[in-house]
Amino acid sequence: MADRPLPKTNEADTRAFWEATRDSRLTYQKCSDCGTVVFYPRRHCTGCLGRNLVWEESAGCGSVYTYSVVRQSYHPFFRDKVPYAVAWIDLDEGPRLLSNVVGVDDPVSDIRIGMRVAVTWEEHDDLCIPLFEPDED
Amino acid sequence: MTQKRDAAIVGIHEYPSRDVEGQVSALQIKAESAARALDDAGLSWSDVDALYDAGEGGGLGGLNMAEYFGLKPNVIDTTNVGGSSYEYHAAHAKRDITAGKARVALLTYGSTAHSRVQAIGVGGGGFGGAHPADNMDVFAGATLVANYAMVAQRHMHQFGTTSEQLAEISVATRCHAMRNPEAVQAMHDLEFLDIRETTVADVAGSRMIADPLHLLECCMISDGGGAVVIAAPEVARDCTKIPVWLLGTGEATAYPENGRDITVSAAAQSAPGAFDEAGVSPDEMDIAMIYDSFSITVLTILEDLGFCAKGEGGSWVEGGRLRFDRPDAGPALNTDGGGLSSNHPGMRGIFLLIEAARQLRGESCSQVADAKLAVAHGNGGMLGSRHCAGTIVMGRD
Ligand SMILES: [Zn+2]
């Protein structure tokens, strides 16, 4: 059984993000000089010429900006997972990230754009993967 | 406004086979295509003084290709922006020729993606996590098809676009492919199951690959390649075929940003400058060669190029508007059969230039009578995340 492809935990720009996931913390950077939200993580601010980025923690809530249900994959891990949903998630704090929407009976019929979602963590040895599940009444 | 005639396409070649069965390498496809394109122009290797290469042949791109061809160019440009590389190369060749740095520019492409059984569209899992952007996405299993499908899903949500409207792109393209013997052969070689003209119902009823994109909305994965020769006016006047002038060019980049509207591609930035430089407007185009990786790629780019307003592409393409035999309705789309039904070895951009040049020469299998103006638009990378756009407006005397 193949494993989910995982991020490298030694990549210079994104290392701190993945370290935080070990404690189930979903983080992003904000520039303390100009206020720009920087995501994906970097060492420099993309809004000003500074480097005074501070890590903020997201509450993990957001909405589905758009999604697709993958019906066919040749990847050794994902080919057994079809159909599964990939989505761009807009976190309430601003960052938009790519993830999976899980915890639905049928991804084809149970997901819609604008749907409220909340993070749920999938544990691995060195990190946790942020997935999202419905968060609506 | 007077159109400038600074540089022209004078030689073209599209490698005819889409399944080389391991008998020919990508480098060999590039070299053979280069020789045929130079021959088409009435030029030879020794005339080439500028080399443009996306590096798909491996090694130190420009250096290794110069030696392989046996050239000592004054200009080497190894821009690689995926499938739009060749629109960038054409733009840069025009720029370098106009600046007096080059007289004859050679662009080549070769790929054996089909023979190597490269699952481009549904491989999934990203590019391996080396780049920080990829390192954030690698876990999600977003296939290439899903990346584009997310644009389609959002387009449908915002504008009410339907699968039937998107299918119009595939139907028009297949109609043109059936008139192109090389495209028909390609579909046979790649073992398409049902090789015929399609209907909207065929496309919208085909198997779902990644919602809402169906099988017949996805491009093929072929072998192939080609070459384009671009020359200065004083060279072009003496070439074998009529010059196809590069009238205007534009380049732009887009990537995920918080709050970005994913239904707007980088074409919205690259197109206005290209049309302005050419002194023409989109509604004057006889031909639109638009990178058809998927149906949604074309629909989005038609809007962004300015053929219709953002969000109106769905209704605009209805009723077969893009067919070659309806020139009064709008531009003929991808008259070679496109990536959907003729040729897609991974980076299709060079074929957009080649077929546009064929049309303006009067050599297409789906010839638009008296075609005078064409736009070629390459989209490289991924429409739903990070991509580069290259717009080239072309015309003949
Ligand atoms: Zn800043």
CATH numbers and ranges of domains, chain A: 15-134 (2.40.50.840)
Residues A131 and A100: beta-carbon distance below 8 Å? yes
CB distance A96–B207 less than 8 Å? no
- Look at residue A1 in the predicted model and tell me its pLDDT: 64
> Structure pTM?
0.96
Per-residue DSSP letter, B74: S
Distance CA B228, CA A46 (A): 38
CB distance A108–B385 less than 8 Å? no
pLDDT band (50, 70, 90) for residue B59: confident
- Hey, which residues 29-88 in chain A have their CB within 8 Å of chain B? 37, 39-42, 65-75, 77-78, 81, 84, 86-88
Is B253 part of the contact surface with chain A (CB cutoff 8 Å)?
no
Distance CA A107, CA A70 (A): 9
Any domain includes B84:
yes
Contacts of A87 in chain B (CB under 8 A): 150
Residue with tokens 């074998």: B240
Per-residue DSSP letter, B218: B
pLDDT band (50, 70, 90) for residue B116: confident
- Find the CB nearest A86 among B130, B142, B154: B142
* Cα torsion through B17, B20, B25, B29, rounded to 10: -10
- pLDDT tens per residue, range A12-66: 999 999 999 999 999 999 999 999 999 999 999 999 999 999 999 999 999 999 9
Contacts of B151 in chain A (CB under 8 A): 66
Residue B373 sits in which domain range?
8-117+220-396
3-state secondary structure B262-325: CCCCCHHHHHHHHHHHHCCCHHHCCEEEECCCEHHHHHHHHHHHCCCCCCCHHHHCHHHCCCCC
Residue with tokens 């130079």: B38
Query: What percentage of chain A reaches a pLDDT higher than 70?
Result: 99
Which residues, at least 6 apart from B100, have a Cβ–Cβ distance to it below 8 Å?
A: none
Question: Looking at residue B300, which CATH number applies to its domain?
Answer: 3.40.47.10
Mean pLDDT of A89-94: 97
User: What are B213's strand-pairing partners?
Assistant: B210
Distance CA B94, CA A108 (A): 48
Any domain includes B363:
yes
Number of domains in chain B: 1
Any domain includes B112:
yes
Which residues, at least 6 apart from B64, have a Cβ–Cβ distance to it below 8 Å?
A: B57, B58
Both tokens assigned to B382? 């991924």
Residue B125 has pLDDT above 60, yes or no: no
CA angle A17, A22, A23 (to 5 degrees): 100
- Look at residue B61 in the predicted model and tell me its pLDDT: 82
Residue A126 has pLDDT above 60, yes or no: yes
Count the alpha carbons within 13 Å of B60 in the hemisphere toward its beta carbon: 5
Contacts of B141 in chain A (CB under 8 A): 4-5, 70, 73, 75, 77-78, 81, 84, 86, 100
- pLDDT tens per residue, range B348-372: 999 999 999 999 999 999 999 999 9
Any domain includes B132:
no
Any domain includes B365:
yes
Any domain includes B25:
yes
Is A12 part of the contact surface with chain B (CB cutoff 8 Å)?
yes
Query: What percentage of chain B reaches a pLDDT higher than 70?
Result: 96
For residue B56, give how far its alpha carbon lies from the nearest alpha carbon of chain A (Å).
23
CB distance A70–B124 less than 8 Å? yes
User: What are B393's strand-pairing partners?
Assistant: B248, B375
pLDDT band (50, 70, 90) for residue B128: very low
Most A CBs within 10 Å, among B150, B158, B257, to test the A interface: B150
Q: Are strands B287-290 and B373-381 parallel, antiparallel or unpaired?
A: parallel
Backbone angles phi, psi at B76, to 5 degrees: -125, 130
pLDDT band (50, 70, 90) for residue B126: very low
Mean pLDDT of B318-344: 95
B263, closest residue in chain A (CA to CA): A66
Displacement of CA B244 from its chain's centroid (Å)? 17
pLDDT band (50, 70, 90) for residue B123: low
Both tokens assigned to B287? 């031909």
Contacts of A39 in chain B (CB under 8 A): 258
- pLDDT tens per residue, range B178-208: 999 999 999 999 999 899 999 999 999 999 9
> What is chain A's mean pLDDT, rounded?
96
Count the alpha carbons within 13 Å of B31 in the hemisphere toward its beta carbon: 14
Any domain includes B99:
yes
For chain A, state the CA radius of gyration: 16
CB distance B135–A8 less than 8 Å? yes
Any domain includes B67:
yes
pLDDT band (50, 70, 90) for residue A98: very high
- Look at residue B395 in the predicted model and tell me its pLDDT: 98
CB distance A66–B151 less than 8 Å? yes
- Look at residue B60 in the predicted model and tell me its pLDDT: 81
pLDDT band (50, 70, 90) for residue B104: very high
